[in-house]
A and B are shown apart, each in its own frame.
Chain A
Amino acid sequence: MATVSFSVNGEVRALKLDTRTTLLDALREHLHLTGTKKGCDHGQCGACTVIVGGQRINSCLTLAVMHEGETVTTIEGLGTPEHMHPMQAAFVKHDGFQCGYCTPGQICSAVAVLDEIKAGIPSHVTGDLNAAPQLTNTELRERMSGNICRCGAYSNIAEAITEVAGRRA
């Protein structure tokens, strides 16, 4: 057992945990923030994506105790049903989901992707590494490909993200 303290959605949370506890299980089973989903527990599906220190990570692939003092944002921290984050609202508007299980991960990823592009971080499909990457269809689809949606809402998700980014799909 070990203690760890980090900020989750703006609130400092201290936990006493089995050191084997993943960040994902700390959120879901200990803090009861079940918006973050467990789809595979092996870093293969992206359903557990959360934003830590401004970067998106698979919370199933990291232990909670590794995040002492860090800042975690989950889907619950982005917005509420009454006050949705623009990305959440865009997903509803464009029906960018069906069963909803991959959705929190898609939304956390999408929010982080826009920041990555703004920060000039290149991807596998960026043509010119010296130029600022643009949110093209190819860039968007490449960067979102770590988040599987078996219901197949990709086309709608792309519309939602491009709308939030202020571009036409």
Chain B
Amino acid sequence: MKFDTPATTNPIDQLKVIGHATSRIDGPLKTTGRATYAYEWHDRPASPAYGYIVGAAIAKGRIASMDLSRARSAPGIIAIVTAENAGKLGKGNYNTAKLLGGPDIDHYHQAVAVVVAETFEQARAAAQLVKVDYAAAKGSFDLSAGRDGAAKPPGRGDDQPDTTVGDFPGAFASSPVQLDATYTTPDQAHAMMEPHASMAAWEGDKLTLWTSNQMIAWTTGDVAKTLGLPKENVRLISPFIGGGFGGKLFLRADAVLAALGARAANRPVKVAMQRPLMFNNTTHRPATIQRIRIGAGRDGKITAIGHESWSGNLPEGRPETAVQQTRLLYAGENRMTALRLAMLDLPEGNAMRAPGEAPGMMALEIAMDEMAERLGLDPIEFRARNDTQVDPEHPNRPFSQRQLVECMRIGAERFGWNKRNAEPGKQRDGRWLIGMGVAAAFRNNLLMKSGARVRLDRGGTVTVETDMTDIGTGSYTIIAQTAAEMMGVPLEKVVVRLGDSSFPVSAGSGGQFGANNSTSGVYAACVKLREAVAQKLGFNSAEIAFTDGQVTAGNRSVPLGQAASDGELAAEDSIEYGDLAKTHQQSTFGAHFVELGVDVATAEIRVRRMLAVCAAGRILNPTTARSQVIGAMTMGVGAALMEELAVDKRSGFFVNHDLAGYEVPVHADIPHQDTIFLDETDPMSSPMKAKGIGELGLCGVAAALANAVYNATGIRVREYPITLDKLLHRMPDA
């Protein structure tokens, strides 16, 4: 189905199932421990051997020699795979560094061997006996040192490293009110709860991988490319994924090593990446240095806005596109953005939840707060004065929907924003200095082709099959709701099967594009199935209703299942998009509000209240959408207050590479969280009229906290995370 004109009324608009707060249909499996994750298919393949990964102990250089003799003679050892004996390996389209290192080493903890044994304990013990001699080379590990030598990265389509509109330098210089400030965001880790894990089984030259992956089609292709197999010889199965956040978008070492290990061992092998390897072996969100310049008139209107960002990556890696939102979020006639990329020998930087906007908004939304203060304006009023209903770079291109100001105003009322004292450091509650902060939320809505197959059996059960994944986002449930709405059956009559490369290719899970696109693909397949049902039952009328398990036209009504009485009925289709995303800018908007306390003596920060107001098209399931948003708010608290991969700049690795050292929010850090979804449908986005929500919830949260810390203490911290050491020496007198 081609979606190239705005959606009109369609069966989804009945809203009998869609739009209702609905418990996850996979909930009973997950809460009783019956959902099967990648490492847990104990019955198939039968009796797998265990692989244990050895990671490189240098960041850059070569393996001079490897001594496997002691490991090979250890009890239970079946095989040891290294680059030397693995055979020729290709590199996938989506990973920058190769997934099995040697003799060249590209980054710390790059896998250099997998040790396969009868048991996990034997593999682990033998892995300690692998002796590697390295010839270390000098590397670059310091972004601030590499900043001056950073180069302009190549552009990709509309994403160009440099953008300019009007005369930014002239307009900024002549602005009566100016801000020129530099912000830094650290390297961050996805730190999803389920480690990267895969089980591999070969049948001849056909490979089956039970794995934990967000993008089945991308990864199937990259497995084939890496191992030199035809794509049709690779099957991926990934129905449950213990979190991803972008860390499982791509093929990673666990899958490659399980496949190589299984080939060498001549039996199925399973590999779970050890937690302490994950932080340096896999990808991370790259650190940024961001310079923001804003010039405005005394009327509070922005005349010049400039945003530059420096990040680092391995050769052939991409920059963190932290300036992205600044091209679209606020008005201003004179504009510029620039991305620069330093070559670093740290582990591979890549997408983490809301790549670009998450760190970009961490900086931009502090800058807006600072600028509002200089103008003597309330930060909400300042943003409202610079709202734009069109793409500021292309004024003939409107936003499909844009309710940023509404989000802010409604949030302000609900949160009690008028109780905020604009003068910092003036609100006390015992030993606590109290502050409130606000920030805009913004993230683009992406349209991606997505397919599905729908089958109807004689009992009236509808089965949906698509390679879409559910990484905790609620895909199972919203896809079931979509099929139920379209086919006129209760939710219990829908079976959803996901995460299998033998199913039609979907958008997958990433970039908050999963929900809208995958359900639109299911919509397209259901439209076809409805046609097939009508034809089978001999309905000619265009006015056919699918309700309550019945197909009705005029005064004739037939049970839906009757269409499959002499055999299952199946339909397959994809949603594909025309140019509505070109003619209209499609984005999602929101406002984050935070109240926190800062201990006047210790500078300990405690979050007291949080509210997010979101305008993101039709909310397909308020329950799972809300969970996406509060989860993102939680991750935003981590980004604001604690998350930082500490770089050892001599040896070139992330030092705090486990869940004790890399701190993420725990129960005690998070108060009750509120969310509000504005009533919105976006007919430009898809037949579902929905947009993304999962990343919107993160964008801006950290800045709202930073602004609240400023409001509480009068201390402006521009280097994340906002830890006590950055406050203590500047705290106001108790």
**Interface residue ranges, A against B (CB under 8 Å):** 18, 20-21, 25, 28-29, 32-42, 44-45, 47, 74-76, 78-82, 84, 88-89, 91-93, 95, 97-104, 107, 137, 140-142, 144-158, 169
> Size class of B's contact patch?
35 or more
Instruction: Map CB proximity to A onto B646-662 as digits: 1 under 8 Å, 0 otherwise.
Output: 00000000000011100
Could you tell me if B193 and A99 are in contact, using CB atoms closer than 8 angstroms? Answer: yes
One of B5-13, B87-95, B459-467, B627-635 contacting the partner: B627-635
Which residues on the A side are within 8 Å of B240 (C-beta)? 99-100
Could you tell me if A39 and B195 are in contact, using CB atoms closer than 8 angstroms? Answer: yes
9 contacts between A and B (CB under 8 A): A34-B36, A40-B195, A45-B193, A88-B32, A99-B471, A104-B33, A145-B667, A154-B667, A155-B672
Q: For the complex, is B576 an interface residue (Cβ under 8 Å from A)? A: no
Could you tell me if A103 and B30 are in contact, using CB atoms closer than 8 angstroms? Answer: yes
Instruction: Tell me, in angstroms, the Cα distance from A45 to B660 when the chains sit together.
Output: 8
Given contacts A95-B23, A100-B35, contact A28 B191 (CB under 8 A): no
One of B119-127, B179-187, B534-542 contacting the partner: B119-127
Given contacts A99-B194, A104-B31, A144-B666, 11 further A-B contacts (CB under 8 A): A18-B121, A32-B43, A34-B37, A39-B242, A45-B659, A80-B32, A95-B24, A95-B624, A98-B243, A100-B31, A101-B194
Instruction: Map CB proximity to A onto B635-678 as digits: 1 under 8 Å, 0 otherwise.
Output: 10000000000000000000000111000111110111100000
Which residues on the B side are within 8 Å of A107 (C-beta)? 31
The list of the 3 closest CB pairs from A to B, nearest first, reads A35-B33, A152-B634, A101-B242
Instruction: Tell me, in angstroms, the Cα distance from A103 to B473 when the chains sit together.
Output: 15
Could you tell me if A148 and B659 are in contact, using CB atoms closer than 8 angstroms? Answer: yes
Which residues on the A side are within 8 Å of B275 (C-beta)? 39-42, 44-45
Q: For the complex, is B175 an interface residue (Cβ under 8 Å from A)? A: no
Name the distance in Å between B640's Cβ and chain A's nearest Cβ. 13
Name the distance in Å between B426's Cβ and chain A's nearest Cβ. 26
Which residues on the A side are within 8 Å of B274 (C-beta)? 41
Instruction: Tell me, in angstroms, the Cα distance from A84 to B32 when the chains sit together.
Output: 7
* Among B28, B39, B627, contact of A92 (Cβ-Cβ < 8 Å): B28
Which residues on the B side are within 8 Å of A79 (C-beta)? 32
* Among A33, A84, A99, contact of B241 (Cβ-Cβ < 8 Å): A99
Q: For the complex, is B221 an interface residue (Cβ under 8 Å from A)? A: no
Could you tell me if B633 and A152 are in contact, using CB atoms closer than 8 angstroms? Answer: yes
Given contacts A92-B24, A148-B664, A152-B631, contact A42 B243 (CB under 8 A): no
Could you tell me if B42 and A32 are in contact, using CB atoms closer than 8 angstroms? Answer: yes
CB within 8 Å of A: which B1-52 residues? 23-24, 26-37, 39-40, 42-43
Which residues on the A side are within 8 Å of B125 (C-beta)? 20
Q: For the complex, is B146 an interface residue (Cβ under 8 Å from A)? A: no
Could you tell me if A33 and B122 are in contact, using CB atoms closer than 8 angstroms? Answer: no
Which residues on the A side are within 8 Å of B32 (C-beta)? 35, 75-76, 78-81, 84, 88
CB within 8 Å of A: which B73-123 residues? 119-122
Among residues of B, the one whose C-beta sits closest to the C-beta of A82 is B28
Instruction: Tell me, in angstroms, the Cα distance from A37 to B463 when the chains sit together.
Output: 29
Q: For the complex, is B559 an interface residue (Cβ under 8 Å from A)? A: no
Could you tell me if B31 and A97 are in contact, using CB atoms closer than 8 angstroms? Answer: yes
* Among A21, A42, A75, A158, contact of B658 (Cβ-Cβ < 8 Å): A42
CB within 8 Å of A: which B672-689 residues? 672-673
Given contacts A149-B193, A150-B243, contact A99 B472 (CB under 8 A): yes
Name the distance in Å between A22's Cβ and chain B's nearest Cβ. 9
Could you tell me if A156 and B630 are in contact, using CB atoms closer than 8 angstroms? Answer: yes
Name the distance in Å between B661's Cβ and chain A's nearest Cβ. 9
**Interface residue ranges, B against A (CB under 8 Å):** 23-24, 26-37, 39-40, 42-43, 119-122, 125, 190-195, 240-245, 272, 274-276, 471-474, 623-624, 626-628, 630-635, 658-660, 664-668, 670-673
* Among A18, A75, A148, A154, contact of B193 (Cβ-Cβ < 8 Å): A148
Could you tell me if B31 and A91 are in contact, using CB atoms closer than 8 angstroms? Answer: yes
Could you tell me if A21 and B193 are in contact, using CB atoms closer than 8 angstroms? Answer: no
Could you tell me if A42 and B193 are in contact, using CB atoms closer than 8 angstroms? Answer: no
Instruction: Tell me, in angstroms, the Cα distance from A76 to B32 when the chains sit together.
Output: 6
* Among B30, B192, B245, contact of A97 (Cβ-Cβ < 8 Å): B30
Could you tell me if A154 and B670 are in contact, using CB atoms closer than 8 angstroms? Answer: yes
Instruction: Tell me, in angstroms, the Cα distance from A88 to B120 when the chains sit together.
Output: 31
Name the distance in Å between A151's Cβ and chain B's nearest Cβ. 5
* Among B190, B272, B627, B666, contact of A156 (Cβ-Cβ < 8 Å): B627
Instruction: Tell me, in angstroms, the Cα distance from A155 to B629 when the chains sit together.
Output: 11
Which residues on the A side are within 8 Å of B631 (C-beta)? 98, 151-153
Could you tell me if B243 and A141 are in contact, using CB atoms closer than 8 angstroms? Answer: no
Given contacts A44-B660, A47-B193, A155-B670, contact A98 B627 (CB under 8 A): yes
* Among B28, B119, B122, B630, contact of A153 (Cβ-Cβ < 8 Å): B630
Could you tell me if B31 and A40 are in contact, using CB atoms closer than 8 angstroms? Answer: no
Instruction: Tell me, in angstroms, the Cα distance from A45 to B193 when the chains sit together.
Output: 8
Could you tell me if B120 and A158 are in contact, using CB atoms closer than 8 angstroms? Answer: no
Given contacts A95-B627, A100-B240, A153-B630, contact A38 B31 (CB under 8 A): no
Name the distance in Å between B33's Cβ and chain A's nearest Cβ. 2
Could you tell me if B29 and A98 are in contact, using CB atoms closer than 8 angstroms? Answer: no
Instruction: Tell me, in angstroms, the Cα distance from A40 to B660 when the chains sit together.
Output: 10
Among residues of B, the one whose C-beta sits closest to the C-beta of A152 is B634
Which residues on the B side are within 8 Å of A147 (C-beta)? 666-667
Given contacts A74-B33, A84-B31, A95-B23, contact A38 B121 (CB under 8 A): no
Which residues on the A side are within 8 Å of B195 (C-beta)? 38-40
Could you tell me if B121 and A81 are in contact, using CB atoms closer than 8 angstroms? Answer: no
Could you tell me if A145 and B672 are in contact, using CB atoms closer than 8 angstroms? Answer: no
Instruction: Tell me, in angstroms, the Cα distance from A79 to B27 when the chains sit together.
Output: 13
Which residues on the B side are within 8 Å of A142 (C-beta)? 667-668
Name the distance in Å between B121's Cβ and chain A's nearest Cβ. 4
Given contacts A37-B193, A149-B193, A153-B627, contact A141 B667 (CB under 8 A): yes
Instruction: Tell me, in angstroms, the Cα distance from A33 to B36 when the chains sit together.
Output: 11
Which residues on the B side are within 8 Å of A102 (C-beta)? 193
Could you tell me if B31 and A103 are in contact, using CB atoms closer than 8 angstroms? Answer: yes
Could you tell me if A42 and B473 are in contact, using CB atoms closer than 8 angstroms? Answer: no
Could you tell me if B194 and A81 are in contact, using CB atoms closer than 8 angstroms? Answer: no
Instruction: Tell me, in angstroms, the Cα distance from A44 to B664 when the chains sit together.
Output: 11
Could you tell me if A21 and B272 are in contact, using CB atoms closer than 8 angstroms? Answer: no
Among residues of A, the one whose C-beta sits closest to the C-beta of B33 is A35
Which residues on the B side are within 8 Å of A169 (C-beta)? 672
Could you tell me if A152 and B635 are in contact, using CB atoms closer than 8 angstroms? Answer: yes
Which residues on the A side are within 8 Å of B474 (C-beta)? 98
Instruction: Tell me, in angstroms, the Cα distance from A89 to B28 when the chains sit together.
Output: 8
Instruction: Tell me, in angstroms, the Cα distance from A103 to B240 when the chains sit together.
Output: 13
Could you tell me if B627 and A144 are in contact, using CB atoms closer than 8 angstroms? Answer: no
Name the distance in Å between B79's Cβ and chain A's nearest Cβ. 19
Name the distance in Å between B118's Cβ and chain A's nearest Cβ. 10
Name the distance in Å between A120's Cβ and chain B's nearest Cβ. 21
Could you tell me if A152 and B658 are in contact, using CB atoms closer than 8 angstroms? Answer: no
Given contacts A42-B659, A93-B23, A95-B624, contact A37 B194 (CB under 8 A): yes
Given contacts A25-B120, A155-B670, contact A100 B472 (CB under 8 A): yes
Which residues on the B side are within 8 Å of A39 (C-beta)? 193-195, 242, 275, 659
Name the distance in Å between B397's Cβ and chain A's nearest Cβ. 35
Instruction: Tell me, in angstroms, the Cα distance from A78 to B125 when the chains sit together.
Output: 34
Which residues on the A side are within 8 Å of B658 (C-beta)? 40, 42, 44
Could you tell me if B672 and A158 are in contact, using CB atoms closer than 8 angstroms? Answer: yes
Which residues on the B side are within 8 Å of A28 (C-beta)? 40
Could you tell me if B27 and A92 are in contact, using CB atoms closer than 8 angstroms? Answer: yes
Which residues on the B side are within 8 Å of A157 (C-beta)? 667
Could you tell me if A141 and B668 are in contact, using CB atoms closer than 8 angstroms? Answer: yes
Name the distance in Å between B672's Cβ and chain A's nearest Cβ. 5
Which residues on the B side are within 8 Å of A20 (C-beta)? 121, 125
Name the distance in Å between B431's Cβ and chain A's nearest Cβ. 15
* Among A75, A93, A145, A154, contact of B33 (Cβ-Cβ < 8 Å): A75
